[in-house]
Structure 1
Amino acid sequence: MSSLLSLPLALWLHAAPAAAPEPVLFAPGVVSTGNEEFGITFSPDGRTVVFNRADPTRFEFQLLMVSHWRDGRWTAPEVLPFSGRYRDIDPAFTSDGKRLFFASVRPQSGAEAEHADFDIWFVERTDKGWGTPRLAEGLNTPDTESNTSVTREGAVYVTRSAKDGKRRIYRHAPQGAGWGPGELLPDVINSGHGDGNHFVDADERYLVFSSRRPGALAPESFDLYVSEREEGQWGAPRNLGPAVNRTDGALTPTVVPARGTLVYAQRRPFLTTPPERPLTTKEFATRLESPGNGNGDFYEVQLTAVGLPAPGR
């Protein structure tokens, strides 16, 4: 696969968006709810979505849920049959939809109650349903592995958090039945400011990731950036701008070609200014149980609004 970008793609990636429309909630009340949600991936046809839902503390328990587009609406999410017991996070479909990667602390041997840190697992998906999760040999180290994103050729990009707390992105090329050693992405990507939480285009044309690097619009949180790959080299990242990046930050991006959109997680504050009138008991309870209550929700924006190439470009 040639890494040389076509001129139209390069123009899309370099162009500043013409406008910054307000992103919309994805599947409000069904997938985006008053609960804590983050980490999302779509099947190639855009009709199946797998995502994380977590406990209110965000850090004690997370599981994987699935919803399907049927009869013009998203179905009520259900816990995936292999999830629900251990902490499972950050799902990522392969481009053919036949395999799902995720990170988990599930035991790796009979001697463990649960593993000491997150490692990468995968599960096959067929017309008959889901298989049994398998540890992704070659992708894991004594450090913590979380987000994954997979190219069409089978390379896996992994976010790895070292014992020193620094988060970095690595690329693992396919090797035999597994993957070879991780190649640390260059300093232009791994700036030392919490870079990770990424999505790579299936043809490795560009990489979307979160970072706390200087100049961010969310200095206390994470902004989303995009870097293009040209002649095998990653270019200087571009901030995706105010259409996505707000003072409350943005996380777990995924590009959905079937929808022509970027979907990501964001924790918007319950209130930024006092309401115009006092809230009633019912109004307050409704707000507490709805998206936008301070927990994570999913937002969706057209690719063209953030200067990303539309499907097929």
Structure 2
Amino acid sequence: MKKIVFILLWTSLQLCAQNSPNIAFENNSATAKIFIELPEFKNINLRDIAISPKYDEIFFTLDAPKNAFRTILTSKKVNGQWTAFSIASFSGNYHDIEPAFSPDGKKLFFASKRPINVEKTPKKDYDIWFVTKENGVWKHPTRLPETINSDQNEYYPSITNDGAIYFTAERPDAKGKEDIYKSEFKDGSYQTPVSLGTGVNTKTYEYNAYVSPDESFIIFGSYGRKGSLGRGDLYISFRKNAVWQDAIHLGNFVNSNQIDYCPFVTFDKKYFFFTSEKSTIQPAYKNLSMEKLKAILNDGSNGTSKIYYLSFDNLLKSLSLE
């Protein structure tokens, strides 16, 4: 079954590669808009996104139904035009998700189930890896050390200006089911990860944390909190005097009654991105034609996960109004 899914994805990607993508950034998007449309993948999930500091590369994950196969796609801006979407140079063989640039743009981190060392069997859990660019191509996947990775899931990396990494993990010292951890980078080595304080982590699930490179704020997903709108909502916490303050729910400006996750803010802080499984499909219709049915199921928010974006300033303004 997985082989069939991969063949279908590969065939569609060849068709997709023939067309230049329509990628545009609206300067003052007041409401969340779908960012990427893949006509060849109308009912395939898209999740998580990374945009380079110079706005010249984009990476995101294509996720087959029931997570049968996950791979990272990319597009590069060349002479003012975006290249056709293609499988990232380091991806396409194993489950790869959640790309994240270092602030200097020299490394690209991601989570993967690929084998380690000389092993041939993929891992059952996600580890965090990174690649570097050589002659314009991202190469040499390198697994982070055992200080970070374990035999449990580690995923959704986010990198600070001083090289520290924030990530989600399942660990014995977690405050809840999953916690958000930070590992400082000192003298060329990652330090023992520490679970963030109770302003962020709780007894339930916390995951998918984007941290600003200067560590002034963190946006993350959480499930099971009081006042949650759905199967997972997004929250923001601001850092004051080296302490993460109590997280603020992003409200229905972003959150829905479905899962909302995978936050990202561009390095210039102009745009906020997130993934959502929100749906505009209604429970009842009158005089439903085949054409209308096609439009309802194929266009817009139909319950498959899609990547949305809006003005980051407008998002912050919405918090002060609630």
Q: Into which bin does the TM-score normalised by the smaller protein fall?
A: 0.7 to 0.9
**How far apart are residue 273 of structure 1 and its match?**
3.8
Higher helix proportion = 2
Correspondence 1:102 to 2:117: no
What corresponds to 2:100 in structure 1?
92
Alignment of 1:225-240 (within 5 A): 225-240=235-250
Alignment of 1:164-175 (within 5 A): 166-175=177-186
Distance, in Å, in 2 between the alignment partners of 1:283 and 1:29 is 20
CA RMSD of aligned residues (A): 2.6
What corresponds to 1:185 in structure 2?
196
Distance, in Å, in 1 between the alignment partners of 2:308 and 2:41 is 8
What corresponds to 1:206 in structure 2?
217
What corresponds to 1:218 in structure 2?
229
**How far apart are residue 302 of structure 1 and its match?**
0.8
Correspondence 1:113 to 2:121: yes
What corresponds to 1:148 in structure 2?
157
Gaps of 5+ in 2: 1-28
Which has the higher mean CA deviation after the structures are superposed, 299-308 or 242-251? 299-308
Distance, in Å, in 1 between the alignment partners of 2:286 and 2:84 is 34
**How far apart are residue 113 of structure 1 and its match?**
0.9
What corresponds to 1:15 in structure 2?
none
Distance, in Å, in 2 between the alignment partners of 1:109 and 1:136 is 12
Distance, in Å, in 1 between the alignment partners of 2:280 and 2:68 is 22
Residues 1:236 and 1:33: Cα distance change in structure 2 (over 3 Å): same
| Matched residue SS, 1:166 | coil
What corresponds to 2:131 in structure 1?
123
Distance, in Å, in 1 between the alignment partners of 2:267 and 2:242 is 23
Q: Retained in 2: the 8 A contact 1:30–1:77?
A: no
Write the letter of the residue equivalent to 1:159: T
Gaps of 5+ in 1: 1-19
Distance, in Å, in 2 between the alignment partners of 1:95 and 1:153 is 9
Which has the higher mean CA deviation after the structures are superposed, 222-231 or 121-130? 121-130
Distance, in Å, in 2 between the alignment partners of 1:293 and 1:287 is 7
Give the aligned length.
287
**How far apart are residue 275 of structure 1 and its match?**
3.6
Residues 1:262 and 1:39: Cα distance change in structure 2 (over 3 Å): same
**How far apart are residue 162 of structure 1 and its match?**
4.0
Residues 1:78 and 1:216: Cα distance change in structure 2 (over 3 Å): farther
Correspondence 1:62 to 2:73: no
Correspondence 1:293 to 2:313: no
| Matched residue SS, 1:246 | coil
Same amino acid, percent of matched pairs: 26
**How far apart are residue 287 of structure 1 and its match?**
4.5
Distance, in Å, in 2 between the alignment partners of 1:125 and 1:287 is 42
The match for 1:263 among 265, 269, 273 is 273
Q: Retained in 2: the 8 A contact 1:151–1:201?
A: yes
Give the TM-score taking structure 1 as reference length.
0.83
What corresponds to 1:35 in structure 2?
44
| Matched residue SS, 1:49 | strand
Distance, in Å, in 2 between the alignment partners of 1:69 and 1:291 is 26
Output one character per residue of 1:103-123: Cα deviation in whole Å (capped at 9) or x when no partner. Answer: 111011323411131111000
Distance, in Å, in 2 between the alignment partners of 1:128 and 1:71 is 15
Distance, in Å, in 2 between the alignment partners of 1:102 and 1:307 is 28
Distance, in Å, in 2 between the alignment partners of 1:183 and 1:110 is 30
Residues 1:93 and 1:276: Cα distance change in structure 2 (over 3 Å): farther
Q: Retained in 1: the 8 A contact 2:281–2:297?
A: no
Distance, in Å, in 2 between the alignment partners of 1:247 and 1:181 is 36
Residues 1:286 and 1:218: Cα distance change in structure 2 (over 3 Å): same
Write the letter of the residue equivalent to 2:191: G
Write the letter of the residue equivalent to 1:181: T
Distance, in Å, in 2 between the alignment partners of 1:32 and 1:105 is 23
| Matched residue SS, 2:205 | coil
Output one character per residue of 1:78-107: Cα deviation in whole Å (capped at 9) or x when no partner. Answer: 101211110011111111111111111101
**How far apart are residue 215 of structure 1 and its match?**
3.1
